[in-house]
């Protein structure tokens, strides 16, 4: 039974609306999962691309190395074998990758449904700000995902996959270890790329400002290294540094955003 537009919605009406939104999200997630599961070859061609020597980043590195006189062939050509050691490992990994791929694919639609659920309770200005926040949150998340896939994970895999303490000890890397590292780093980098949005939100609340962020920059560096150490599946310094660097750059970007937010709030206050 539809609720009249001029009649306030009760708690149970809101609960029914939320249930409808959740059911739609689950239905679309299931469709996305089935689609990703069915397209196994394209999916794993994408997933396994960083494990091959012809990956785009490795070709760029080889090209730059050739320009500066280094042995480009030696840098580009490498081989790391991936193994599956359990009977059900490949099927379960297929399920897992299809699930996470579905989450990324349906994320815009999920945000759209959630925004449609909460937008009636917002004023016009709040709706405009919320729309910008949602759009930029998605853009930043995807930038983190793309950066990890194209740069951070391939560099980490290339370094760790080919590192040997002795030529007598070959690297045997399982497919599960490969995909778990890829998923963890990708999702964590997507989440950490929300730092500018979080900083903007805290600045609007008056919790932080640009001088505060500058004053505690050294503390932030330590915190960034600690967070990178926690989210990094490996314990090597190389991976820690390549994960920490983009987060630190985002922190510096956040200082500029917070400074601009403070100026806009001051102008608004003076005009009012």
Per-residue pLDDT of the chain (272 residues; tens, 9 = 90+): 444 455 566 767 768 888 888 999 999 999 999 999 999 999 999 999 998 888 888 888 777 766 776 665 555 667 778 888 888 999 999 999 999 999 988 988 888 888 777 777 767 776 777 788 888 889 999 999 999 999 889 888 888 887 778 878 888 889 999 999 899 889 888 988 999 988 888 888 888 888 888 988 999 999 998 888 887 766 667 778 888 888 999 999 999 988 887 665 554 444 44
Phi-psi region of 230 (alpha: psi -120 to 50; beta: other; left: phi over 0): alpha
**pLDDT for the residue numbered 96:** 94
Tokens of 212: 């505060």
Angle ∠(73,78,81) on CA atoms, nearest 5: 165
164 in Cβ contact with 171 (< 8 Å): yes
- Provide the Cα torsion 8, 14, 17, 18; round to 10°: 160
**pLDDT for the residue numbered 135:** 87
**pLDDT for the residue numbered 58:** 81
**pLDDT for the residue numbered 155:** 84
Tokens of 263: 């100026």
How many C-beta neighbours within 10 Å does residue 152 have? 21
Residue 248: closest CA among 205, 203, 268, 218: 218
**pLDDT for the residue numbered 262:** 66
How many C-beta neighbours within 10 Å does residue 222 have? 10
DSSP 88: T
Tokens of 19: 């249930």
**pTM, entire model:** 0.80
In 3-state terms, what secondary structure has residue 248? helix
In 3-state terms, what secondary structure has residue 193? coil
């Amino acid at each position: 039974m539809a609720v009249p537009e001029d009649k306030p919605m009760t708690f149970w009406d809101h609960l029914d609306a939320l249930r409808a939104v959740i059911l739609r999200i689950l239905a679309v997630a299931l469709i996305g999962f089935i689609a990703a599961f069915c397209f196994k070859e394209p999916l794993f061609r994408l997933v396994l691309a960083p494990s091959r020597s012809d990956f785009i980043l490795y070709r760029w590195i080889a090209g730059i190395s050739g320009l500066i006189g280094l042995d480009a062939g030696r840098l580009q050509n490498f081989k790391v074998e991936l193994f599956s050691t359990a009977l059900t490992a490949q099927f379960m990994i297929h399920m897992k990758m299809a699930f996470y791929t579905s989450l990324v694919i349906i994320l815009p639609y999920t945000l759209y449904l959630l925004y449609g659920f909460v937008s009636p309770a917002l004023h016009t200005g709040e709706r405009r700000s919320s729309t910008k926040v949602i759009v930029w949150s998605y853009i930043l998340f995807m930038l983190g995902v793309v950066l990890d896939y194209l740069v951070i994970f391939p560099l980490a895999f290339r370094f760790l996959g080919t590192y040997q303490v002795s030529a007598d000890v070959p690297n045997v890397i399982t497919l599960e270890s490969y995909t778990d590292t890829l998923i963890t780093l990708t999702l964590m980098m997507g989440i950490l790329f929300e730092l500018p949005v979080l900083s903007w939100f805290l600045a609007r609340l008056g919790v932080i400002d640009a001088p505060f962020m500058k004053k505690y920059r050294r503390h932030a560096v330590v915190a960034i290294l600690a967070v990178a150490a926690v989210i990094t599946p490996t314990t090597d310094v190389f991976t820690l540094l390549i994960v920490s660097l983009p987060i630190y750059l985002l922190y510096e970007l956040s200082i500029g955003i917070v400074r601009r937010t403070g100026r806009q709030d001051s102008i608004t206050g003076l005009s009012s």
